[in-house]
Amino acid sequence: MRLEHLLIFGSVMAATWFVAIYFWPRMLLSVFKRAILVKGFGDGPIPVNTLYTQREDLFADPLHVPAGGSKVASAGVNRDTLLTLGWLDLSKGPLVLQVPDMADRYYSVQFTNPSNNTNFAYVGRRTTGTAAGGFLITGPGWDGEVPAGMGHIASPKRSVLLIGRVLVYGDGDIKAAYHLSKQMRLTRQA
Amino acid sequence: MSRTYAYFAGLVGTVCVAFILAMLFLPLTRTIRSDVLQGFLIGFGLAFVTAQVYARIKAVRINGWTTLPRLGNPGNGMLMRAACAQLFPGPVNAAEEAVYWWANSDGAGAALTGQQEYVLHFPAGGLPPNNAFWSLTMGDAGNRFVANSLRRYSVGDRSGLVPNPDGSVDVHIQNEPPAGRESNWLPAPSGKFILWLRVYQPRAAILDGSYRVPPVARVEGGQR
């Protein structure tokens, strides 16, 4: 076998190996992006900078996933928390996340960097407590003042995947958890 | 990290290595086109195998339970992020928020199946230490919910588990309801299954690895 063939083969192989490993998380997150913005979870696509909460009936009866929606949010078995999902785009300025008083109920809002699938910030019972509050979410290069009384989430990227989880105490509590989840809102900074 | 997945990774790895060896030592006619195409395919195959092998090296196995440390934490390394993206269907929590264990085999290493009956015995004071909640959730061989008469898909701190007189807690994992112990029954399918143990806001004993999840023990004479 001639050396030049070996070199071409070897360098293509090494480059593909590196690129595939490096971009694997991004590939997974692009599936999520598509699921949220294009397909939705049974109620049509979810616009950018909007939060969507998993349906109560789906949580109550997880055996029957509605047809037509993306399966990514219902992959795996989770009967603890009601999920809220959103795809954020910070290129047109900061957003504000409002959370209601959760009265010591476990909840968390995870901010995931879609380029490497790691979580750069959390809002929730562990990190910020369960009182009502607002959090300013800013993109890279943002330069401004965080309004008084507001928390600050600085994102390293313009795109963010947001995943909210609100604990469900039992079958009789799904409605309450859903109601609280729906009070987590995203607005543009006034 | 199911066995099928392990065999698949092994197969892909073997094919890739065999191909490289064949290329080096067999007198094949080569074109640049085939160099590029084969380099791409084998590089991709090896990337998959690398992440799978890395996950297995980094995985912590105790009593049949497996967990991966530092999932979802920034700075956890390119290989860990690739492994995480392959093993989990979506973004998972950082360890400080939640720790996950999964098991597809009992404490003795045999595959979990509804053809057997199992007990998960937490000694008194030995429930997973947490500041939020814990749960044990059943998934069938395809990691889907399992239909059952109680419509119970998980047990945990909110499911009304009844402790034994000595304060220990037994979870009965089996296909048929255990007579008189339905409160502590986690319904299993008739075939193979996976268990997920989730602990949210885990305490230091979990984060530093000193807490050991008890084994899922097969009940002697419990087979159907």
Q: What confidence tens digit (pLDDT) does each residue in B174-191 have?
A: 999 999 999 999 999 999
Q: Quick one: which of A186, A184, A187 has its CA closest to A166?
A: A184
Structure tokens at B6: 């392990």
Q: Closest partner residue to B82 among A16, A21, A62, by Cβ?
A: A21
Q: What SS3 state is found at B122? A: strand
With DSSP H G I counted as helix, E B as strand and the rest as coil, what are the percentages for chain A, rounded to 5?
30, 30, 40
pLDDT attached to residue B163: 96
pLDDT attached to residue A5: 85
- Identify the CATH homologous superfamily for domain B94-218: Domain of unknown function DUF1214, C-terminal domain (2.60.120.600)
- In total, the C-beta contacts within 8 angstroms joining chain A to chain B are 171
Q: What SS3 state is found at A32? A: helix
Is the ipTM reported for this complex over the cut 0.85? Answer: yes
Residues of B in contact with A59 (CB under 8 A): none
Q: What is the mean pLDDT of chain B?
A: 90
Task: Tell me which chain A residue has its CA closest to the CA of residue B200.
Answer: A106
Residues of B in contact with A14 (CB under 8 A): 43
Residues of B in contact with A78 (CB under 8 A): 137, 198
Q: Are B9 and B1 in contact (CB under 8 A)?
A: no
Q: What confidence tens digit (pLDDT) does each residue in B50-76 have?
A: 999 998 888 899 999 999 887 877 778
Point out the least confidently predicted range of B32-41, B171-180, B188-197. Answer: B32-41
CATH number at residue A141: 2.60.40
pLDDT attached to residue B224: 58
B50/A118 CB distance under 8 A: no
Task: Tell me which chain A residue has its CA closest to the CA of residue B194.
Answer: A77
Q: What confidence tens digit (pLDDT) does each residue in B130-164 have?
A: 999 999 999 998 888 999 999 999 999 999 999 99
Q: Is residue A11 part of a domain?
A: no
pLDDT attached to residue B2: 62
Angle at B182 between CA B192 and CA B190, to 5 degrees: 20
Which residue would you say has higher pLDDT here, B58 or B124?
B124
B30/A14 CB distance under 8 A: no
A8/B93 CB distance under 8 A: no
Answer whether A112 touches B (CB < 8 Å). Answer: yes
| pTM, 2 dp | 0.90
What is the pLDDT confidence band of residue B116, given thresholds at 50, 70 and 90? very high
What is the pLDDT confidence band of residue B201, given thresholds at 50, 70 and 90? very high
B85/A10 CB distance under 8 A: no
A110/B73 CB distance under 8 A: no
pLDDT attached to residue B46: 93
Q: Where are the beta strands (DSSP E) in chain B?
A: 60-62, 65-67, 98-103, 118-122, 130-140, 154-156, 169-174, 185-187, 193-202, 216-218
**A99, containing H or E segment:** strand A95-99
pLDDT attached to residue B142: 86
Structure tokens at B159: 């499911």
Q: Closest partner residue to B23 among A1, A79, A108, by Cβ?
A: A1
* Domain assignment of residue A172, given as a range: 34-188
pLDDT attached to residue A1: 56
Which residue do the tokens 């047990």 mark? B155
Q: Which of B40, B131, B197 best tests the A interface by mutation, with the highest count of A CBs <10 A?
A: B40
pLDDT attached to residue B3: 67
Q: Is residue A146 part of a domain?
A: yes
**Which residues, other chains included, contact A83 with Cβ-Cβ below 8 Å and sequence gap of 6+?**
A53, A54, A73, A163, A164, A165
Task: Tell me which chain B residue has its CA closest to the CA of residue A117.
Answer: B91
- pLDDT tops 90 at residue B11: no
**Window A:24-63, CB contacts with B under 8 Å:** 24-25, 27-29, 32, 61-63
**Which residues, other chains included, contact A90 with Cβ-Cβ below 8 Å and sequence gap of 6+?**
A137, A138, A139, A142, A155, A158, A159, A160
pLDDT attached to residue B74: 74
pLDDT attached to residue B95: 92
Q: Which residues of chain A have pLDDT under 70?
A: 1, 66, 74, 190
pLDDT attached to residue A4: 85
Query: For B90, left (φ over 0), alpha (ψ -120 to 50), or beta?
Result: beta
**Which residues, other chains included, contact A9 with Cβ-Cβ below 8 Å and sequence gap of 6+?**
B23, B35, B36, B38, B39
pLDDT attached to residue B1: 54
Q: Closest partner residue to B73 among A14, A75, A118, by Cβ?
A: A118
What is the pLDDT confidence band of residue B18, given thresholds at 50, 70 and 90? confident
Number of domains in chain A: 1
Q: Which of B52, B70, B84 best tests the A interface by mutation, with the highest count of A CBs <10 A?
A: B84
